[in-house]
DNA sequence: CGTCTATTTGAATGTACTCAAAAGCGGTGG
DNA sequence: CCACCGCTTTTGAGTACATTCAAATAGACG
């Protein structure tokens, strides 16, 4: 990762290395561009289980996680359907609601004590208007999100639930330490009871 | 839709109104910008069942359909798994392979006699380098793709197969006229035999 | 320690799958 | 025009997997 001598600006920028990494990984912002970006990010502390979005609201900001984790889910007749998670250095929001200014049908909740930085719609548009690098950043973020979503969609249609679970813990070995099994289950498209049985089967085959 | 007096440039541009619509729907290109974009698009005619991408190849171009339809699918132990389709005015390609320059694990095949325009990686980068409007176009395309992929993913985890099928034909009433049932089935994440039974149940309930 | 929530287990049901074969459909050539 | 071919769709029977509803067990936290 590129090192940024941003301490010249502010002494505690070292606290934000996760954010700075996330921003500069995709586009080589110079110090001034990066600083301008950082200034638009509003910090916010969340307790575990706090919501930053509830169904019916319009999603007004996209947020990036500095510490902790968020869960993106919807509510249907079977209960909560987890759709996505975000941890350190990852962006989250209801992109559709955010872009179309229509009410969301999703919730975003902290699954741990979490520190986020939020970027409002207007500030984002201002960034896009300010320079091509910000526009490019937005493009690369959206491209990466699309690739991840599509890969995930393909797994759902082509792999059995057990294989989806094994792939998930292979790609994210520590995920069970941060996300309750019930939320992993609905993310995988099955009920918690079913995942429990799948986990039992895997464990019994290992011994 | 905005009208573009591009006949000033070329007499048969009227043939490309689907393409021009697709490009100008997202960004208000002026005539010169649009013309520059169009010049980079290489036309190609496909017969039904022709491939423009096969697994193992690197996806070298993104294509936009002017007439006809394309199917994006992969091959696994159960056979062909259809993942996406593109018709008039829609872009398609293996975005992941295209961006990362890694071999694709997908195929793209014409499901009808099809006319496409392709944009190479280098030409796309050249566009992005040329001006912020092209960069913005790329961002908006990726954003829309992400929203569609995510919505589709959410349906797979939260709705039963019958409801996914009903939603599909509600959103695309004519899709059965263009896509064989077997491909719709795997797109929905089920086997063709299962979709056949689902369709029979729906029909029997209607009478 | 008691309470609340998460996870696991059991039993019955429902849905989708596999393997196999029959029926339907479109095109070609006799 | 009909017979045949290849491919798609449907149907049948048996099996596998996931679901529901309910209850028991395990863990976390005050």
| Domain chopping of chain B, boundaries | 6-158, 159-207
> What is the reported pLDDT for A4?
47
Query: Residues near chain D (nucleic strand), Cβ < 7 A?
Result: A 78, 160-162, 189-191, 193-194, 197-198; B 180-182, 192-193, 195-197, 199-200
Task: State how far the Cα of B6 lies from the Cα of B28, in Å rounded to an integer.
Answer: 14
Strand ranges for A54-133 from DSSP E: 61-67, 70-76, 79-86, 91-92, 107-110, 114-120
Quote the percentage of chain B above a pLDDT of 70: 93
Structure tokens at B116: 């496409």
Residue with tokens 């004590």: A113
> What is the reported pLDDT for A69?
97
Between β-strands B42-46 and B114-120, what pairing exists: parallel, antiparallel or unpaired? Answer: antiparallel
Homologous superfamily (CATH) for A6-152: Jelly Rolls (2.60.120.10)
What CATH number does the domain located at B6-158 have? 2.60.120.10
Q: Over 60: is that where the pLDDT of B10 sits?
A: no
Look at B2 and A103; give whichever has higher pLDDT: A103
Provide the CA B192 distance to its chain's centre, in angstroms.
22
Of A146, A186, A188, the CB nearest to B142: A146
CA distance A132 to chain B (A): 5
Per-residue pLDDT averaged across A58-70, rounded? Answer: 97
Helix axes B181-188, B192-206, angle to 10 degrees: 100
Between β-strands A79-86 and A91-92, what pairing exists: parallel, antiparallel or unpaired? Answer: unpaired
Phi then psi for residue B92, to 5 deg, are: -155, 155
Q: Can you give the pTM of this predicted structure?
A: 0.93
């Amino acid at each position: 990762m590129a090192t940024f001598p941003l301490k010249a600006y502010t002494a505690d920028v070292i606290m934000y290395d996760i954010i700075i990494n996330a921003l500069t990984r995709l586009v080589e912002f110079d110090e001034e561009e990066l600083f301008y970006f950082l200034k638009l990010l509003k910090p916010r502390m969340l307790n575990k289980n706090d919501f930053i979005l509830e169904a019916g609201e319009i999603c007004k900001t996209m947020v990036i996680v500095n510490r902790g984790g968020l869960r993106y889910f919807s509510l249907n007749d079977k209960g909560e359907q987890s759709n996505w998670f975000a941890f350190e250095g990852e962006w989250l929001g209801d992109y559709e609601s955010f872009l179309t200014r229509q009410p969301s049908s999703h919730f975003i909740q902290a699954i741990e004590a979490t520190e986020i930085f939020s970027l409002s719609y207007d500030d984002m548009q201002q960034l896009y208007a300010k320079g091509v690098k910000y526009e490019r950043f937005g493009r690369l973020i959206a491209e990466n999100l699309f690739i991840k979503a599509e890969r995930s969609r393909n797994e759902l249609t082509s792999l059995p639930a057990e294989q989806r679970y094994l792939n998930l813990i292979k790609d994210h070995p520590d995920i069970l330490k941060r996300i309750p099994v019930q939320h992993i289950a609905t993310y995988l498209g099955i009920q918690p009871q079913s995942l429990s049985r799948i986990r039992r089967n895997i464990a019994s085959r290992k011994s």
